[in-house]
Amino acid sequence: MKRLVCVLLVCSSAVAQLHKDPTLDHHWHLWKKTYGKQYKEKNEEAVRRLIWEKNLKFVMLHNLEHSMGMHSYDLGMNHLGDMTSEEVMSLMSSLRVPSQWQRNITYKSNPNRILPDSVDWREKGCVTEVKYQGSCGACWAFSAVGALEAQLKLKTGKLVSLSAQNLVDCSTEKYGNKGCNGGFMTTAFQYIIDNKGIDSDASYPYKAMDQKCQYDSKYRAATCSKYTELPYGREDVLKEAVANKGPVSVGVDARHPSFFLYRSAGATTLVKKDIFGWQEIKEIIVGLLAFPLTQKSRGSLLFITNQEI
């Protein structure tokens, strides 16, 4: 009997969780209209509705805590509001670290060099506009071209958007990259070195899908002679590299709802690209532009730019 009661209680709980809140009907339809959401089947919409309600509750509780001074940022129900953390991670998590990865750590640090209080490469015109990634897992490609765009600007004085699609389509089998299914920044740089160049975004625009390689050397906009990796866990070296060399290609863990539902003054969800600056502050919420963490400390606020998703 006890076992039967337990089963009934579990079933009752499961059924209760499957019921939508009718008081949210208007807001659900308004949210769908705002973000152009359409679902092929009623069952799919029912599942999305329940996920949406769960995320909405998380957002509301977080923002209540924000109003009481417990957080430095607020959240919002953006276009990812009907997705689970696992689904968002699947969309965002497109880094493919090579199985035989050997770090190319040749950066020579100068710990005695005095760094400025702040660095922002946007002010020097070295950062291109935010790109739209869509449903293609090409964050690695955007990250690579972003760092190279800055170096091109520093060398030639011209800021040119480089082709992430060129990397998606062409730096594949030999380099271990899988196009829209993920890749890695260092292997993208190696492709550009081996290929003796990369096309501009204007000549080889982003399509958010895998295509046949269409690289054309006559549209080559940049080359790359070498790259280096920074030592693991050395934020001091990272700051030095950003200050002395330029924007650095990075990857960011974006799996938590407090990242992909981030709002704070209406900012778009950001994921992976390049650290283009930092600011030294006595006491800050340590963070990455659009994702302040919840730990207060003395340190640096890192500025990161990337593609929208």
pLDDT at 16: 42
- Cα 228 from Cα 302, distance rounded (Å): 20
- Cα 60 from Cα 55, distance rounded (Å): 9
The answer to whether residue 50 scores a pLDDT higher than 60 is yes
pLDDT, tens only, 81-109: 999 988 887 766 666 666 656 666 677 77
Amino acid sitting at position 139: C
Which one is predicted more confidently, 73 or 214?
214
- Cα 141 from Cα 177, distance rounded (Å): 10
**What's the start-to-end Cα distance of the chain, in Å?**
51
Which one is predicted more confidently, 204 or 116?
204
Q: Give which of 221, 222, 239, 219 is closest to 230, Cα–Cα.
A: 239
Question: pLDDT averaged over the chain?
Answer: 79
| Number of separate helices (H) and strands (E) present in the chain | 9, 6
302-to-25, 34, 125, 184, 194 alpha-carbon distances in Å? 40, 32, 18, 22, 32
- Cα 37 from Cα 23, distance rounded (Å): 20
- Cα 170 from Cα 57, distance rounded (Å): 43
- Cα 51 from Cα 84, distance rounded (Å): 7
**Partners of 299 in the β-ladder:** 281
Of 2-6, 131-135, 267-271, least confident by mean pLDDT is: 267-271
**What is the model's pTM?**
0.71
Given pLDDT bands bounded at 50, 70 and 90, which one contains residue 113? confident
> Residue 72, Cα to own-chain centre: how many angstroms?
20
pLDDT, tens only, 250-304: 877 667 788 788 887 433 434 335 555 554 433 322 223 222 222 333 344 455 5
- Cα 138 from Cα 19, distance rounded (Å): 37
**Domains, in order of start, for the chain:** 2-71 (no CATH), 91-306 (3.90.70.10)
The answer to whether residue 307 scores a pLDDT higher than 80 is no
